[in-house]
A = this chain, B = another copy of it.
């Protein structure tokens, strides 16, 4: 769209300069202004579980996505400062910014310490994590101490810790407001919940979103291309705008994971089409 806007500008300049170049009607016609959305499209690192960083960045460049939630298989927890700098440099060369780390399992206060230490060294202000229930007050304390927010990942039916948004919300609602949810809309739906209603209901605690669609609103549902599932994505995007969501929509594409490019590209295209048309 930007290109077109530039063309319009050039056309207007041409006319103002008294040029004889004719400007077709709709180029002069002002484009319906679309307010820049507060939320942004990102990739959840897990989508690239079978690919190294270089291969992943090629796919992100190809699909024009510029934010990444960093997984440890691309940047190991034990990375040195130099390795972390080199990692960020490589992302920058592809026009990509790492905005968070995770999901990271943390089964003890020690592992929680490690998560925060890692996030601090990587230089991000958000961790997506899976702590034990009993450690939640400790996570809250770390959030307060570090200023790094912590989003608990939900994982659908079968997950004993955090199957859906309401489970997480009930556990954190009285804890530090920097403790929130990584809202996996696919898993929430697979649990049988209404992801769009939950997005609105728990908006204040939703810090990150795993953007995806699923084939069925049951345990048997699996990830599919964003426009081909049971979740009404146009309504979801409308709701993101309604609640003024200002985080990332991190595409987690879990179909054809060894050959995901076409599905990722279709999903990115679908998301952009929905955003631009609605």
21 CB contacts below 8 A, A to B, read A3-B216, A4-B229, A4-B232, A7-B230, A24-B192, A25-B194, A25-B197, A26-B196, A27-B194, A63-B266, A225-B269, A226-B269, A227-B272, A234-B277, A261-B261, A261-B262, A266-B266, A268-B269, A272-B273, A274-B276, A277-B277
User: Does A170 reach chain B (CB closer than 8 Å)?
Assistant: no
User: Does A97 reach chain B (CB closer than 8 Å)?
Assistant: no
- For A24, the chain B residues whose CB sits under 8 A away are 192-194, 197
User: Does A139 reach chain B (CB closer than 8 Å)?
Assistant: no
Once bound together, how far apart are the Cα atoms of A233 and B31, in whole Å?
A: 12
Interface size range of chain A in the complex: 35 or more
What 0/1 readout, one digit per residue, does chain A (247-278) give for beta carbons within 8 Å of chain B?
Answer: 00000000000000111011111111111111
| Interface members, chain A 185-201 (any B CB < 8 Å) | 192-194, 196-197
Q: How far is the CB of A151 from chain B (nearest CB, A)?
A: 23
How many chain copies does the complex carry?
2
Once bound together, how far apart are the Cα atoms of A22 and B197, in whole Å?
A: 15
Q: How far is the CB of A216 from chain B (nearest CB, A)?
A: 7
Q: How far is the CB of A264 from chain B (nearest CB, A)?
A: 8
Once bound together, how far apart are the Cα atoms of A226 and B265, in whole Å?
A: 12
Q: What is the interface of chain A mostly: helix, strand, loop, or mixed?
A: helix
User: Does A204 reach chain B (CB closer than 8 Å)?
Assistant: no
- Of B229, B230, B271, B273, the contact of A271 (CB 8 Å cutoff): B273
Question: Taking CB as reference atom, which chain B residue is nearest A214?
Answer: B3
- Of B26, B63, B230, B267, the contact of A4 (CB 8 Å cutoff): B230
- For A27, the chain B residues whose CB sits under 8 A away are 194, 217
- For A197, the chain B residues whose CB sits under 8 A away are 24-26
Once bound together, how far apart are the Cα atoms of A243 and B7, in whole Å?
A: 26
Q: How far is the CB of A187 from chain B (nearest CB, A)?
A: 14
Name the residue among A192, A228, A265, A273 with the largest chain B CB count within 10 angstroms: A273
Once bound together, how far apart are the Cα atoms of A274 and B273, in whole Å?
A: 5
